[in-house]
Amino acid sequence: MDSIFITVKPAGQSAMDLKIPGYMTGEGFLAVLSSITCQTFPANTKIQAEPIGGILDNAQTLASEGVEAGALLTLL
């Protein structure tokens, strides 16, 4: 998997579509999202993915965790 298309809607901001590499880790995704939204996320922030229905391991790649195009990622 080369890229994953997702939609992100940070609190208080407009939704944005992102094309991210599938080899990006959860930690990398949070860093990119922090940069784009000018928000800081706590070090213990977790990512829940739907329709997978589970909490991702932030040290693993999104693709290896089963995240596919159209997934809904929720920060916990």
Q: What is the pLDDT of residues 28-70, one digit of tens each?
A: 999 999 998 888 988 899 988 888 778 999 999 999 999 888 8
Q: What is the mean pLDDT of the chain?
A: 87
Domains contained in the chain, CATH given: 3-75 (3.10.20.90)
Q: What is the pLDDT of residues 12-37, one digit of tens each?
A: 777 788 899 989 999 999 999 999 88
Residue 11 predicted with pLDDT over 70: no
What are the distances in angstroms from CA 71 to CA 22, 38, 40, 52?
Answer: 12, 23, 22, 8
Cα 41 to Cα 55: distance, rounded to the nearest angstrom = 16
